[in-house]
Structure 1
Amino acid sequence: MARRLSPVGLEFVDSAPLRLVFAREVSASPEAVHRALAQDVVGWPQWFTAVTLCRPTDGGKGREVRLKGGTRFQESILASDEPERYAYRVDETNAPGLRALVEEWRLAPAGTGTRVQWTFAADGPAPFRATLRLGRAGLGRAFRDAVTALDRRLAETKA
């Protein structure tokens, strides 16, 4: 059963009880990465293997996301500042324990490519937060694999 989460804003990225931050450099430009994140929403499953479905909702103001294992999210886009940032809040989910979640993708020029930073800002009861902390390595690996696959995909479409 889907549950409504707290309608937190962008400030939650800095104030969340749990913040997991990951970064990686890629060869694609910030503009290309931002387009893949914000405009090619349906393409996410092609490079982020945990995602099985991603589609825009509400005229592009939101997203519906499904993950392997059956987790579902209804999200609101909080920021799409090309080419620096893309952020969204989970409004509804079937994931247990989650009270609030905002994900922010920060993009910055790095040499001839981009430094991609992903912040996973969440709140839930203490056992939920402890479980996420324990899962930090797995989330980091998923991020690295996804961003590497995205970079390959962008290089192929550029060629």
Structure 2
Amino acid sequence: MARRLRPVEADFVENAPLRLVFARVVTAPPEAVFHSLAEDVSGWSEWFSAVTLARPTQDGAGREVRLRGGTRFEETVLVARASEVYAYRVDVTNAPGARALVEEWRLAPEGTGTRVQWTFAADGSPLFRAALTIGRAGLGRAFRDAVTALDRRLASTPA
């Protein structure tokens, strides 16, 4: 059953009760990575294997995302600063126990590529927080696999 989460803002990434942070360097430039994250939302399912559907809503101010296993999200984009940061808040989800959730993708030039940092900031029931803590390794693997697939996709796309 879908339910509305607490409407937090971008600063929740810094003060959430649970923060999972993952980072990886890719060969693609920040502009290309940002385009894939923020402007080609429907392309997420081509490089993030957990995502079965992603589409922009509200003229790009929101997103609808569905994951393998049936989890669904209705999101609001909080920050879209070209080639630097892309962050969104989950407004409605069917994930049990979630109370507030923001994901932030921070990009920084590194050599000729990009350092991609993903922060998963959450609040929820004790069981929800415990499940995320236990699932940290799996989330990290999903992030690494997704960013690696995105980098391969960008390398094969003509400029």
For 2:152 and 2:54, locate their aligned partners in 1 and report how far apart those are by CA, in whole Å.
Answer: 20
> Identity of paired residues, percent?
74
Question: What is the CA deviation profile of residues 84-113 of structure 1, one whole-angstrom value per residue up to 9, with x for unaligned ones?
Answer: 000000000011000000000000000000
TM-score by length of 2: 0.99
**Partner secondary structure for residue 158 of structure 1:** coil
For 2:69 and 2:102, locate their aligned partners in 1 and report how far apart those are by CA, in whole Å.
Answer: 21
Q: Once superposed, which parts of structure 1, at least 4 consecutive aligned residues long, lie more than 3 Å away? A: none
Structure-2 residue corresponding to 1:14: 14
Instruction: Write the mapping of 1:4-153 to structure 2, written as runs, cut at 5 A.
Output: 4-153=4-153
For 1:5 and 1:12, locate their aligned partners in 2 and report how far apart those are by CA, in whole Å.
Answer: 13
For 1:65 and 1:127, locate their aligned partners in 2 and report how far apart those are by CA, in whole Å.
Answer: 23
Matched positions, count:
159
**Partner secondary structure for residue 95 of structure 1:** coil
TM-score by length of 1: 0.99
How large is the RMSD of aligned CA atoms in angstroms?
0.7
Runs of 5+ unmatched residues, structure 2: none
Question: What is the CA deviation profile of residues 53-80 of structure 1, one whole-angstrom value per residue up to 9, with x for unaligned ones?
Answer: 0000011100000000000000000000
Letter in 2 for 1:113: G
For 1:155 and 1:84, locate their aligned partners in 2 and report how far apart those are by CA, in whole Å.
Answer: 20
Residue 26 (structure 1) shift: 0.1
For 1:67 and 1:128, locate their aligned partners in 2 and report how far apart those are by CA, in whole Å.
Answer: 17
